[in-house]
């Protein structure tokens, strides 16, 4: 089984420097072009199934990537971004000024991020692993695409790479429309063959 994991294109909140989480933002013109370019780049790959977070920015990204297959996309709530509670919609610079601890924990010490009304990175990681494992089990020997979010993807990739939560933001950066490839081995373990557009040496 081969799994292709994509982050959404640039949004207006990415551009403005706002925390997104599960709140809604939409693709910028640049984000639309990124999704269209990615769609062209992968048009030779035949996907048996396409899954997507139901957030507007991921739905828009998927629709521009696969304009002729919009009716074939399955939306799963389990693929949404980390819930950031009261931080959602706030500017990074405002949170850094008004709640420096939460700002520091989110960006530099994710293992300590624990804000009332928000999801911890430990819970996000567990949700990501469970969601993608379930998709993998349902699609043995198939090629599958998933369109999701930056923190969700980084949490999943960090875990299957044998790293710890405090390393989630370590390089490589998961840029907008970043493309990751994972294979499911015969022992049901995940193996990364491409991360953030860079192929892994076997």
Question: Is position 16 within any domain?
Answer: yes
Q: Is the pLDDT of residue 202 over 70?
A: no
How much is the pLDDT for 71?
84
pTM: 0.97
Question: Is position 53 within any domain?
Answer: yes
Chain-centre distance for alpha carbon 88: 17
Residue 95, domain extent:
2-197
**Helix, strand or coil, per DSSP, at residue 143:** strand
The sign one gets for the Cα dihedral 133, 134, 135, 141 is positive
How much is the pLDDT for 186?
87
Question: Is position 32 within any domain?
Answer: yes
Assigned token pair, 42: 């992968």
Question: Which range among 50-54, 67-71, 164-168 shows the weakest confidence by mean pLDDT?
Answer: 67-71
The maximal CA–CA distance of the chain, rounded, in angstroms, is: 50
> For all residues of the chain together, what is the average pLDDT?
97
pLDDT tens digit string along 66-123?
999 888 999 999 999 999 999 999 999 999 999 999 999 999 999 999 999 999 999 9
How much is the pLDDT for 156?
98
How much is the pLDDT for 33?
98
Tell me if 9 sits within 8 A of 34, measured CB to CB. yes
Residues 12 and 18: their CA atoms lie apart, in Å, by 9
Question: Is position 202 within any domain?
Answer: no
Tell me if 80 sits within 8 A of 152, measured CB to CB. yes
Reported confidence tier of residue 201, pLDDT bands at 50, 70, 90: confident
CATH of the domain at 14: 3.40.50.1240
Tally of structural domains, the chain: 1
Chain-centre distance for alpha carbon 22: 12
Chain-centre distance for alpha carbon 36: 18
Q: Is the pLDDT of residue 58 over 90?
A: yes
Question: Is position 137 within any domain?
Answer: yes
Question: Is position 10 within any domain?
Answer: yes
Q: What are phi and psi of 75, to 5 degrees?
A: -100, 130
Q: What is the dihedral of CA 77, 78, 84, 85, to 10 degrees?
A: 50
């Amino acid at each position: 089984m081969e799994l292709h994991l994509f982050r959404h294109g640039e949004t207006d909140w990415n551009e403005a420097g706002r925390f997104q989480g599960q709140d809604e933002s939409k693709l910028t013109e640049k984000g639309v072009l990124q999704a269209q370019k990615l769609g062209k780049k992968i048009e030779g790959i035949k996907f048996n199934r396409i899954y997507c977070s139901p957030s507007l920015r991921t739905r828009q990204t998927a629709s521009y990537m696969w304009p002729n297959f919009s009716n074939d996309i399955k939306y799963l709530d389990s693929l949404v971004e980390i819930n950031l509670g009261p931080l959602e919609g706030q500017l990074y610079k405002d949170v850094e000024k008004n709640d420096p601890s939460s700002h520091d924990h989110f960006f530099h010490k994710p293992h300590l991020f624990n804000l009332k009304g928000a999801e911890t990175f430990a819970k996000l990681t567990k949700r990501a692993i469970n969601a993608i494992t379930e998709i993998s089990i349902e699609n043995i020997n198939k090629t599958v695409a998933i369109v999701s979010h930056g923190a969700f993807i980084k949490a999943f990739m960090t875990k299957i790479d044998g790293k710890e939560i405090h390393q989630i933001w370590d390089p490589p950066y998961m840029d907008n429309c970043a493309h990751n490839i994972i294979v499911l081995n015969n022992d049901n373990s995940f193996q990364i063959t491409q991360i953030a557009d860079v192929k892994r040496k076997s």
